[in-house]
Amino acid sequence: MFAIIVAFILLLAGVGVIYLLLKKMSEDGIDIAAPGSCKRGRCEVPVRQALEDAGEAPQQFAEETGQGRRGA
């Protein structure tokens, strides 16, 4: 029972710290919004460019270093 009470207190303390951190960030003018959210001015715009670039990165690296697939 004691362990459950301690875990609950630690959970509440962690939530409180995150709340205060987010509150301070918003007071300092730091934008706290997910990519693609309306708060950033990109309502319902999927972020696809980053995913497409991520797939091309290994190919570009292989071409630049000359380490393409061998034996294919």
Residues 21 and 40 occupy one common structural domain = no
Q: Residue written as tokens 């939530």?
A: 15
Q: Which helix (H) or strand (E) holds 33?
A: none
Other CB atoms within a 10 A radius of the CB of residue 15 amount to 10
Indicate whether 27 and 38 sit together in one domain: no
55 in any annotated domain: yes
Give the residue numbers spanning the domain of 6: 1-31
Alpha-carbon span 14 to 68, nearest angstrom: 48
Neighbouring residues of 31: CB distance < 8 A, sequence distance ≥ 6: 39, 40
Q: Which residues of the chain have pLDDT under 50?
A: 71-72
Co-location of 1 and 27 in the same domain: yes
pLDDT at 19: 94
